[in-house]
Amino acid sequence: MNIGPGFTFLGWLLIGALIVYLFMVTMQRTQRREAKISLTLVVILLVAGAGASTLGAGLVFVNPEERGVVLSALSPTGYRAEALQPGLRWIVPYFESVKRYSISRQTYTMSIMAAEGQIQGDDSILARTIDGQEVSIDASLIYTINPAKVVKLHIDWQDRYTDGLVRPLVRGVIRNAVAKYKIEEVVSTQRVEMAQYISEEMTRRMDSEGLVLVEFILRNITFSKEYAASVEQKQIAQQQAEQAKYMVQKQEQEAARVRVEAEGLRDAAITRANGDAQAQIIRATSDAEALRLISEALKANPDLLTYRYIEKLAPNVSVMILPASGSGNPLIIDLKQIMSQLPSSTSPMTTTVP
């Protein structure tokens, strides 16, 4: 709790009371009234007021998020070597004073957008790559004052460390980092590496000045209009190439599908042809076997063919007369002998063949 201002207020209150007392006594005397000045009261008010004011001037309360640099007229250097730590502290009244510095995290933003950065308007960092392309970079720094180096920071920069140190330092480091890469690397493949390099370099440089980098944020990278147009054209060409590649792949897939269908039709035709050939082989084999059996049957019974012929003409024929040959006499075939070797008929009859 900061009680120093309370004592200071009490001291000035007592001094004021002393002045009012002396004024009232003086007014009474001007009105020819008898009024005596109480020296005891004057001394008490004076001593109490001066003591309270002095005590208030010597008591300093340092907040937890602060450190205090003591400026001292009693020191040959003009300051105490150690900063005041948080809590209620004592300094020599009227000979020493305290400059407070916040050690809380601070953010400094440089952006192309007017309302985002500490400076109104376009405050982005213009940098040029190794291949001569210009880019605009938005960045933010989150940092704190190193509590152990707050006295050094005060000596070197006082309240100017933001605009006098942080701003020019980060802009210079970013420009140096961008100059190490090509434009394609800055915006794509080496972006993370570049941000890491900037962070490490800022950490080193700020630490030597009494600041601690908490985080470096590479917010955005903007191209020049000319390069943005060339990138757009390149992307369009890439998209067209991808489209052409897709069409080629689609045609290749269609050709493959047609080939597969043709192979399927060919295989089906071959399968059908093989099936037909097998069927013909089976039929030919069956026919050959049947002819063989018939041949064997004829060899075993030569009259079987005649019988089959007669049976076709009439099942009960016993005599068959054929037309006359060149000699003019008819040919008579006696079927009894043939029929005797075959199953008998119920009623034999004679047939004449015209």
Residues with Cβ within 8 Å of residue 336, at least 6 apart in sequence: 318, 319, 348
**Which residue reads 């640099």 in tokens?**
69
Q: Provide the H-helix boundaries in the chain.
A: 4-30, 39-58, 150-156, 161, 167-178, 183-184, 191-207, 225-300, 304-313, 335-340
d(CA 78, CA 72): 5
Q: What are the beta bridge partners of residue 89?
A: 60
**What is the per-residue pLDDT for 261?**
83
**What is the per-residue pLDDT for 350?**
43
Mean pLDDT per 10-residue section of the chain, whose length is 354 residues: 75 83 78 72 83 84 93 91 92 91 94 78 88 90 95 93 93 94 86 93 94 94 75 68 80 84 82 81 80 74 65 60 57 59 46 43
Contact, 173 vs 203, CB < 8 A? no
Q: Residue 317 has which token pair?
A: 């024929």
**What is the per-residue pLDDT for 352?**
42
Instruction: Indicate yes or no: pTM above 0.85.
Output: no
143, exposed or middle or buried, with CB in 10 Å at 0-12, 13-18, 19+?
A: buried
